[in-house]
Amino acid sequence: MTSTKLKLRLPRFLRFSGRPSLSMQLMAVGVVITLFFVLVAILAPTFESWGWLQDPTESLSNPILEPPGARYWFGTSRQGYDVFSRTLFGSQAALQVVILATSLSLIIGVPLGLVSGYLGGKLDRVLLFLMDTIYTLPGLLLSVTLAFVVGRGVLNAAIALSISYVPQYYRVVRNHTASVKSELFIEAAQAMGASTKRVLSRYLFFNVIQSVPVLFTLNAADAILILGGLGFLGLGLPEETAEWGHDLRQALDALPTGIWWTALFPGLGMTLMVVGLSLVGEGLSELINSREHR
């Protein structure tokens, strides 16, 4: 009898000759951390419906300030909340806002960069001036200002965050487009009568978005910190929402009295999620750079 061996073939850009570099190993750690928080955000409502988690927006029936223990794993807060439940649901709020914010900025910034870099002229100068102006403003300050204007809520917080990231996508895509549009294959497509829309969508788009995944993950990590800052300042999401920044603000007054757990666990959640996304972004950056130099 003959036996057959099944071989798993990885995509070419994921194949390594020899041992993966330290950045690739750290990227794998980042992927695990990020996926963990994604699973927590998805499964938290299910666990609550099964009675495994307390409602993060309601005080306990007998609110007692307790340290972490067998009854309440992460302890309880002065407001009578289960810290474990609010920490888990905090990942859901963070992911909702961050995915919306980074997606909105990508959807706006990439097309503007393509059109601006390809067409040039007055449109390019106006957009470049506008994006450079936005880019010079600190992200947190701009988000705080916009949060006052648009108000609270998941979508409003995402809009407030996304504005500061649009120039980053615009600048990267615009610069790549301006350099690639003089290549022979673009000139050949133009000579054959390809429309501007066809050139942008078929010939330019996939050649200028290599850095977009890196930007997406790094902006997501930054957005978590800014969202936490908005929550700490009492902006962003509604007061009753389980959100790490808001919980840190509530825990601030309790720290001098030795109640450390109400700040520790939301802070750890925010830190780990930022570290995970940052490691993924750095790993993707090295992966893309290594492919370009092959």
- Give the HSE-up count for residue 8: Cα atoms under 13 Å, Cβ half-sphere: 3
Give the model's pLDDT for residue 19. 65
pLDDT tens digit sequence for 215-263: 999 999 999 999 999 999 888 888 888 999 999 998 988 888 888 999 9
Residue 5 domain-assigned?
A: no
pLDDT tens digit sequence for 91-137: 999 999 999 999 999 999 999 999 999 888 899 999 999 999 998 88
3-state class (DSSP) for residue 82: strand
Count the helices and strands in the chain (H runs, E runs): 12, 0
Cβ proximity of 160 and 146 under 8 Å: yes
Residue 4 domain-assigned?
A: no
Token readout for 181 is 């549009």
pLDDT tens digit sequence for 30-69: 999 999 999 999 999 998 888 888 888 888 767 678 889 8
Residue 79 domain-assigned?
A: yes
Give this prediction's pTM: 0.85
- Percent of residues, the chain, with pLDDT higher than 70: 91
- Give the chain's domain count: 1
Q: How confident is the model at residue 14 (pLDDT cuts 50, 70, 90)?
A: very low
- Is the pLDDT at 179 greater than 50? The verdict is yes
Residue 76 domain-assigned?
A: yes
More confident residue, 182 or 272: 272
Mean pLDDT of 181-201: 81
Mean pLDDT of the chain: 85
Give the model's pLDDT for residue 292. 58
Residue 113 domain-assigned?
A: yes
Residue 35 domain-assigned?
A: no
- Is the pLDDT at 169 greater than 90? The verdict is yes
- Read off φ and ψ for residue 260, nearest 5 degrees: -90, -25
Classify each residue of 3-20 as buried b or exposed e, where b means 16 or more C-beta atoms within 10 Å of its C-beta: eeeeeeeeeeeeeeeeee
> In angstroms, rounded to a whole number, what is the distance separating the alpha carbons of residues 189 and 139?
40
3-state class (DSSP) for residue 161: helix
> In angstroms, rounded to a whole number, what is the distance separating the alpha carbons of residues 212 and 187?
25
- Is the pLDDT at 5 greater than 70? The verdict is no
Give the model's pLDDT for residue 131. 93
β-strand partners of 82: 76
- Is the pLDDT at 7 greater than 80? The verdict is no
3-state class (DSSP) for residue 76: strand
- Is the pLDDT at 18 greater than 80? The verdict is no
Residue 31 domain-assigned?
A: no
CATH code where residue 173 lies: 1.10.3720.10
Cβ proximity of 113 and 177 under 8 Å: yes
> In angstroms, rounded to a whole number, what is the distance separating the alpha carbons of residues 271 and 279?
12
Range(s) of the domain holding residue 222: 44-59+72-292
64: number of Cβ within 10 Å: 9
